[in-house]
């Protein structure tokens, strides 16, 4: 366990922020740097079949140490960090949390406070790894990477723990929705796997959003405002009208648990042309389809009102709720749940309000629930992770591997 924090901090300092405008895979060079570092490290600790493919996917094997045939299991995490916040010059800090405000940055007076983030109160007396207030931390998902590698090293160093074969993989570009695009399920050769990409201590997730993205292009007509009466079509105002026709309560800031939403992610425009981007989310497939139908109806209405081809909608499904693929083999959730309990943790089985590589991989033939990595406030300069939660994640990975062999 003493290497766990050192590993995580070393990984966190590499800028692996992904870029959805890039056409390459991985989308950024820092992910390749980290992939090579991990491959070398895995070789040093004794893992086998280490591979980095041309797309930056890293795979390795921990051979089994029993003659009994048991299912091959896998553990996965992703190399990239979110493009939502800068990852340049990440400077992780170790802080013993006393229950008071944490001063992250003296110069800029940036404070991590339990008033804003009351979950901090759960970790009084524990050591936290925080940012310096100017970047994200990257616990999503470099904590998962550090935990998986540490668990594999622990199993190598403790051969008295009997286990079957274990496959591990680290994927690029998960944060921009491409993590499973080029993943070779057949080469990975596991019956089931777990992404170590969740949040707080004890979380276990096998449900996620159904997801779509919508790009809306609006063609207006610009006329001198002094002579614009009955002529001008202001595309920005049409965009505002479209947004106001969506249910005001169905947005991320007013929804929780199983509630879906429309999320306006970007709007750029002039009188003549405006582009609006949304993501559409719901756990329930019927409600998800109704949300998409509503978007189509609104666009059709605006085209009737303002003229054919005024509003153009491009909508694309991104991923689906893995619950459909997990429930028929629910024992893999129960296995993880038992491992969490035997590690002295109360399981928190909750839906993911997002997606992971596991949701896509489950539909590609690799059922893949999600385990906690331990962090909080992902994609933010206020991101932090308790060291004890990371240690417990390692313990759960080891315990799953052990229980799978019984």
- Residues classed as catalytic: 80, 174
Q: In which order are the strands placed within the sheet that holds 311-319?
A: 261-269, 273-282, 210-219, 311-319
**C-alpha dist (Å) from residue 313 to 69, 133, 295, 305:** 52, 39, 9, 16
């Amino acid at each position: 366990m003493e290497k766990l924090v050192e590993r995580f901090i070393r990984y966190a300092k590499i800028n692996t922020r992904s870029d959805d405008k890039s056409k390459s895979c991985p989308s950024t060079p820092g992910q390749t740097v980290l992939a090579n570092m991990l491959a070398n490290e895995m070789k040093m600790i004794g893992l086998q079949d280490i591979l980095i493919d041309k797309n930056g996917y890293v795979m390795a094997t921990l051979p089994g140490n029993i003659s009994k045939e048991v299912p091959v299991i896998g553990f996965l995490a992703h190399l990239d960090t979110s493009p939502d916040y800068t990852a340049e010059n990440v400077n992780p800090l170790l802080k013993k949390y006393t229950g008071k405000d944490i001063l992250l940055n003296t110069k800029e007076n940036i404070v991590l406070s339990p008033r804003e983030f009351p979950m901090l109160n759960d970790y009084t007396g524990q050591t936290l790894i925080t940012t310096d207030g100017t970047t994200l931390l990257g616990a999503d998902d470099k904590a998962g990477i550090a935990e998986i590698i540490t668990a594999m090293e622990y199993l190598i160093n403790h051969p008295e723990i009997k286990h079957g074969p274990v496959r591990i993989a680290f994927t690029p570009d998960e944060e921009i929705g491409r993590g499973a695009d080029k993943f070779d399920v057949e080469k990975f050769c596991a019956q089931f796997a777990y992404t170590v990409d969740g949040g707080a201590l004890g979380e276990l997730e096998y449900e996620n959003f159904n997801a779509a993205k919508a790009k809306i292009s609006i063609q207006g007509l610009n006329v001198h405002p002094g002579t614009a009466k009955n002529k001008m079509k202001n595309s920005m105002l049409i965009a505002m009208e479209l947004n106001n026709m969506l249910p005001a309560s169905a947005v991320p800031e007013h929804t929780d648990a199983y509630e879906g939403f429309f999320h306006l992610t970007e709007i750029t425009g002039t009188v003549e042309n405006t582009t609006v981007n949304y993501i559409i989310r719901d756990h329930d497939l019927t409600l998800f389809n109704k949300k998409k139908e509503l978007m189509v109806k609104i666009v059709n209405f605006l085209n009737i009102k303002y003229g054919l081809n005024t509003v153009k909608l491009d909508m694309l499904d991104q991923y689906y709720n893995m619950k459909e693929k997990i429930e028929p083999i629910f024992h893999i959730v129960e296995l993880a749940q038992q491992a969490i309990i035997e590690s002295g943790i109360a399981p928190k089985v909750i839906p993911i309000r997002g997606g992971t590589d596991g949701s896509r991989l489950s539909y590609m033939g690799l059922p893949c629930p999600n385990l906690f990595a331990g962090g909080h406030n992902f994609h933010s300069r206020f991101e932090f992770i308790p060291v004890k939660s990371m240690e417990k994640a390692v313990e759960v990975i080891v315990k799953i591997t052990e229980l799978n062999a019984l």
